[in-house]
A and B are shown apart, each in its own frame.
Chain A
Amino acid sequence: QVQLQESGPGLVKPSQTLSLTCTVSGGSFSSGSYYWSWIRQPAGKGLEWIGRISTTGRSSYNPSLKSRASMSIDTSKNQFSLQLTSVTVADTATYYCARVEDFPDLWGQGALLSVSS
């Protein structure tokens, strides 16, 4: 059974770079039919799609993040990562990683990331 697990620092200072990693276990990470995505949710608010990356490294991002987001993938470790630069308090949220085939169908449990000085 495929599972996704986010990991990250929990707390980041304003203007710094946020880094999160998603580890995929129990399945075929390198299948060409999947994209791997990051989605976030501020407390009490709705969901926002951040971006996606394929196992070949092809990526795309939500324009609302104004080029602050980048993703990378390491198929040897079954991991993909998110970096978000120049963070502000508005980036405080629960960050989910998700597998996407026809839709984001499998999600991690989420990692809470707070931006505070």
Chain B
Amino acid sequence: QSALTQEASVSGTVGQKVTLSCTGNSNNIARYPVVWYQQISHGAPKAVLFGNSLPSGIPPRFSGSRSGTTASLTVSGLQPEDEADYYCSTWDFSLSIWVFGGGTRLTVL
């Protein structure tokens, strides 16, 4: 069982806006920035957002927010190449480890 909870699947059509959520607790998401990873076809995860910052090369259609113990990743203007598994992650103060969500499969219809 993952420390962070994500939806199993989310879908949207090209051009649509979709939001993925990640729920933790007071020891992780409430304390530290969340990083979101994109994993395409079982390749290595690639960070698409850290806190509110976009890593180099990530298009600005990716954005994030956090409220209390829940973080969200929003993809505005969904593109076919956005179809992937998305994982959220952050540091856990109590466990002293990086924790991950179980992943959300984003399907572009």
* A residues apposed to B, CB below 8 Å: 37, 39, 46-49, 60, 62-63, 94, 96, 100, 102-105, 107-110
Contact = CB atoms under 8 A, between A and B. Distances in A.
A47 B89 contact: yes
B95 A63 contact: yes
A63 B35 CA distance: 22
Contact of B102 (A46, A49, A94, A110): A46
Nearest to A43: B42
A60 B87 CA distance: 23
A107 B98 contact: no
A46 B103 contact: yes
Contacts of A100: 98
A46 B86 CA distance: 10
Given A102-B50, A103-B89, A104-B35, A49 B43 contact: no
Given A47-B87, A63-B95, A102-B50, A107 B102 contact: no
Interface residues of B, number: 23
A39 B87 CA distance: 13
B96 interface: yes
A66 B45 CA distance: 26
A49 B99 contact: yes
Given A46-B87, A46-B101, A100-B98, 12 more contacts: A46-B2, A46-B100, A47-B37, A60-B97, A63-B95, A102-B33, A103-B47, A103-B89, A103-B98, A104-B98, A108-B44, A109-B43
Contacts of B60: none
A107 B45 contact: yes
A63 B92 CA distance: 13
B55 interface: yes
A60 B96 contact: yes
A47 B47 contact: no
